[in-house]
Chains A and B, each alone.
Chain A
Amino acid sequence: MRIGILALQGAVEPHAEKLRSRGAEVVEVRLTRDLADIAGIILPGGESTAMIKILHKNKLWEDLKAFTATRPSWGVCAGAILLARKVTSPEQASLDAIDVEIERNAFGRQKDSFIGDLVSTPSWPKEPVSGVFIRAPRIRATGPDVQVLLKWGDEPVMVRSGKTLLSTFHPELTDGTQVHDYFLSFCQP
């Protein structure tokens, strides 16, 4: 199975290693033609402002928006910011692939980055995982169709709606492949 990773900037390689270890073929997505033959896409962590800029320069914005509207897509941290319906702090454009409102850098700066044990909801079919949060955003509101999979304390940190997955933490930076396996499970045709 071929899985794309948006490779304009950010933590591309750690995701690629996880995917390859599970037998998937990785496609680095920089231009529209790279979207042609992939079963799903990961939008990795990085800086969302920089990614938005390069998405426009590479004329990928509209095509990525069309792809993520219907196909399996997983946004991690900055990638989650790109996929959300509404972004605050500051407000910025997004791909609007999932009915989620998200606040950038909502825990603070790097000094407020942390690693925490996550709470599984009944909707999470895998083993519990811990979460690496780096200048992470916070999910501030979710629409009625959005299912919460993992929480940190009482707040949602991984959610899903249809074939769109968001996580505000970085599963690519911890051991194990539970979250990658979960994403791959709904990339299956």
Chain B
Amino acid sequence: MSEMRLKTGLAEMLKGGVIMDVINREQALIAERSGAVAVMALERVPSDIRKDGGVARMAAPEIILDIMDAVSIPVMAKARIGHFSEAAVLEALGVDYIDESEVLTPADEQYHINKFDFNTPFVCGARDLGEALRRISEGAAMIRTKGEAGSGNIVEAVRHLRTIRAAIRKLTTMGEEELVNESKLLGAPLQLVQIVAKTGKLPVPNFAAGGIATPADAALCMHLGAETVFVGSGIFKSSDPERLANAVVEATANYKDPQILAKCCRSVGTPMKGLDIHKLAPEERLQERGW
């Protein structure tokens, strides 16, 4: 249990901040300079993964090491769902957090990684409370919404935040005997269901990801209960990445203050183009990955 405290402890330190996807040293330095609390080291941002097709895998170690060398803030990296060997490589490289991510092509269509096997903390995506609690029962120390990565469209992250929040609220109103049945319906362990019912929140930090493209998107996620935001393609696919990165950081820290938010939304250039979720074919929806 003491180890879990170190894992969720680092997530506590990232709260209220912005975690940015970066693909090289230059982008990592821009992210750090703009006030990011951590970076996610990738070979391609999600919108490019979507465009290029093919199998998306863990980033090459030399890219990750170069980014770790460049910045003093924590560095995260992604492993494919179920690919515990990629996770072992990332742990050996010394990354600070591993994202078992649906953005990469899954390596296992039945099982996720047993994250208790690792000292490095894991973050996993979830669309609903059952999925979040299954990931926590496998050892995830942070949950993020899946949203729809690389879409530049906030609608799915909003759906997932609201879905999880509504399900948590429902649990807090239930009697003990109802929780047993609800645990069955959620496909989640009763013990975790009981904890959530009692505390009214997830037992690990809950962050937002997938489709955040503007300062106002980030603020919306914070209002809906996200404790930190991940911005993937949104920053470096915009017309003026450094300016937008600064604005998203400022907006996240001051999300309750409309005056500051209005200032953040001015002169940030053109955000990434974005996709209509309803025009994505089922196989193009990255959020469907994960079990």
Interface residues of A (CB under 8 A from B): 7-14, 30, 45-47, 49-50, 53-54, 57-58, 77-78, 89-90, 104-105, 109-111, 113-115, 132, 134-135, 170, 173
B254, CB-defined interface residue at 8 Å: yes
Evaluate contact between A11 and B6: CB separation under 8 angstroms.
Answer: no
Of residues 107 to 123 in B, which have CB atoms within 8 Å of A's CB atoms? 119-121
How far is the CB of A6 from the nearest CB of chain B, in Å? 11
Interface residues of B (CB under 8 A from A): 2, 5-6, 9-10, 12-17, 32, 34-38, 68, 72-74, 91, 94-97, 119-121, 246, 249-250, 253-254, 257, 260
In the assembly, what is the distance between CA of A46 and CA of B37, in Å? 8
What chain B residues lie within 8 Å of A45 (beta carbons)? 12-13
Evaluate contact between B6 and A113: CB separation under 8 angstroms.
Answer: yes
Given A110-B120, A134-B9, CB of A53 within 8 Å of CB of B34: yes
Evaluate contact between A135 and B35: CB separation under 8 angstroms.
Answer: no
How far is the CB of B241 from the nearest CB of chain A, in Å? 16
With both beta carbons as reference points, the residue of chain A lying nearest to B71 in the complex is identified as: A49
Q: A-B pairs with the 4 shortest C-beta distances? A: A53-B35, A110-B96, A9-B16, A11-B12
Which residue in B12, B74, B246 is a CB contact (below 8 Å) of A14?
B12
Evaluate contact between A78 and B13: CB separation under 8 angstroms.
Answer: yes
What chain A residues lie within 8 Å of B249 (beta carbons)? 50, 53-54, 57
Is chain A's binding surface mostly helix, strand, loop or mixed?
A: loop
Evaluate contact between A54 and B13: CB separation under 8 angstroms.
Answer: no
In the assembly, what is the distance between CA of A99 and CA of B263, in Å? 37
Evaluate contact between B15 and A110: CB separation under 8 angstroms.
Answer: no
Extra 6 A-B pairs, beta carbons < 8 Å, given A9-B17, A47-B73, A110-B120 = A9-B15, A47-B14, A47-B17, A50-B35, A50-B73, A114-B6
30 A-B residue pairs with Cβ-Cβ distance under 8 Å, sorted by A, are: A8-B16, A10-B17, A11-B15, A13-B15, A14-B12, A30-B257, A46-B13, A46-B37, A47-B14, A47-B74, A49-B73, A50-B249, A54-B250, A54-B253, A57-B35, A57-B250, A57-B253, A58-B254, A105-B72, A109-B95, A110-B10, A110-B96, A111-B91, A111-B94, A113-B9, A115-B2, A132-B5, A134-B9, A173-B5, A173-B12
How far is the CB of B27 from the nearest CB of chain A, in Å? 16
In the assembly, what is the distance between CA of A100 and CA of B113, in Å? 43
In the assembly, what is the distance between CA of A48 and CA of B120, in Å? 22
What chain A residues lie within 8 Å of B14 (beta carbons)? 46-47
Evaluate contact between A54 and B35: CB separation under 8 angstroms.
Answer: yes
